[in-house]
């Protein structure tokens, strides 16, 4: 696929802030339709967003992606109301400032950034198969490149917490690993799956706590680009990336701990089948 066009319908999780918001704006400007799966509202001071919501080009479904009950309700509604999905951007996430657990009893980053994207993909797979180019972009991060060890068995309940390079980085690595493992099977069904690092972006929001170490915050504010840069990398990944790729700065990059990809996929698949689909 060389470009995106007005006939495309893109579902974006985390579409109302940061990189997701800039990606939403770009796709709407190109006359794509956007399905937003979000927890909180869009900015109210953007006339183009208001117009897109009023016209139905931007359709909103609310859910807390870390809460299976909330996520299930939203996905069921999407399956009932939407006819197809051409592009899926699993973009929702964030870096927390302390160890937190979800209603399912697992570490928050893991459920939100590793498990939820798998659930969204599996639940919306039939809509993707009705679309074209049937592309899934999982928003990852290069933060895990600073890790020397990775144990999938610690993802659910890590023994310790480190900002940015701890559970956040581990969950993003796990996301890219299951993407790598699952990509060939989905490719055989016509779905292109890859993960993309949107790079460092100034997504710091005033008054919002985050897991960004204090020494990085002034650097981010002064030197990191606007989130539209990250949105551009996700967009380009959808336009040009190949199945199974992990893209950093738009270039295919070898994944660390690739030997663990099967184990990570088995873990998220088991959670999906044993918890999400049966409850």
In a domain, residue 1? The reply is: no
- Computed over every residue of the chain, the mean pLDDT equals 91
In a domain, residue 40? The reply is: yes
Looking at the predicted structure, is the pLDDT value of residue 192 above 90? yes
Domain encompassing residue 70: 9-276
Q: Quick one: average pLDDT of 33-46?
A: 96
Of residues 261, 264, 237, 259, the one with CA closest to residue 248: 237
Residue 227 confidence class, pLDDT cut points 50, 70, 90? confident
Residue 107, strand partner residues: 101
Q: Quick one: average pLDDT of 244-252?
A: 97
In a domain, residue 259? The reply is: yes
Residue 246 confidence class, pLDDT cut points 50, 70, 90? very high
HEC secondary structure over 139-160:
ECCHHHHHCCCCCHHHCCCCCC
Percent helix / strand / coil, the chain, rounded to 5: 45, 15, 40
d(CA 127, CA 147) in angstroms, rounded, equals 36
Chain centre distance of CA 76: 19
In a domain, residue 140? The reply is: yes
- Residue 170 is inside which H or E element, if any? helix 167-188
The total domain count for the chain is 1
Is this structure's pTM higher than 0.85?
yes
Q: Quick one: average pLDDT of 183-191?
A: 98
Measured CA angle at 111 (ends 108, 115), to 5 deg: 160
What pLDDT, in 10s, does the model give residues 249-270?
Answer: 999 999 999 999 999 999 999 9
Per-residue pLDDT, 146: 83
Residue 278 confidence class, pLDDT cut points 50, 70, 90? confident
d(CA 36, CA 137) in angstroms, rounded, equals 15
In a domain, residue 141? The reply is: yes
Per-residue pLDDT, 97: 86
Per-residue pLDDT, 1: 44
Looking at the predicted structure, is the pLDDT value of residue 18 above 60? yes
Looking at the predicted structure, is the pLDDT value of residue 218 above 90? no
What pLDDT, in 10s, does the model give residues 86-137?
Answer: 999 999 998 898 999 999 999 999 999 999 999 999 999 999 999 999 999 9
What pLDDT, in 10s, does the model give residues 148-176?
Answer: 999 999 999 999 999 889 999 999 999 99
Residue 242 belongs to domain with CATH number: 3.40.50.720
Looking at the predicted structure, is the pLDDT value of residue 229 above 70? yes
d(CA 206, CA 108) in angstroms, rounded, equals 22
Looking at the predicted structure, is the pLDDT value of residue 216 above 70? no
Looking at the predicted structure, is the pLDDT value of residue 224 above 90? no
């Amino acid at each position: 696929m060389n470009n995106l066009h007005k006939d495309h319908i893109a579902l974006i999780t985390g579409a109302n802030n940061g990189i997701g918001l800039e990606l939403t704006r770009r796709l709407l400007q190109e006359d794509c339709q956007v399905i937003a799966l979000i927890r909180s509202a869009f900015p109210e001071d953007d006339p183009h967003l208001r117009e897109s919501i009023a016209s139905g080009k931007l359709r909103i479904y609310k859910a807390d992606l870390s809460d299976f009950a909330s996520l299930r309700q939203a996905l069921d509604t999407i399956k009932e109301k939407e006819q197809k999905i051409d592009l899926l951007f699993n973009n929702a996430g964030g870096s927390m400032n302390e160890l937190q657990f979800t209603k399912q009893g697992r570490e928050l980053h893991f459920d939100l950034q590793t498990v939820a994207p798998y659930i969204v993909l599996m639940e919306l797979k039939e809509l993707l198969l009705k679309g074209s180019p049937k592309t899934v972009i999982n928003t990852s991060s290069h933060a895990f490149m600073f890790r020397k060890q990775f144990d999938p068995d610690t993802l659910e309940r890590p023994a310790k917490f480190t900002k940015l390079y701890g559970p956040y980085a581990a969950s993003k690595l796990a996301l890219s690993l299951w993407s790598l493992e699952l990509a060939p099977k989905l490719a055989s069904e016509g779905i292109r799956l890859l993960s993309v690092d949107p790079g460092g972006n100034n997504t710091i929001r005033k008054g919002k706590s985050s897991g960004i170490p204090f020494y990085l915050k002034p650097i981010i504010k002064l030197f990191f680009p606007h989130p539209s840069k990250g949105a551009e990398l996700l967009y380009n990944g959808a336009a040009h990336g190949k199945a199974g790729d992990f893209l950093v700065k738009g270039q295919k990059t070898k994944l660390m701990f690739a030997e663990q990809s099967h184990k990570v996929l088995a873990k998220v698949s088991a959670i999906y089948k044993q918890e999400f689909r049966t409850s």
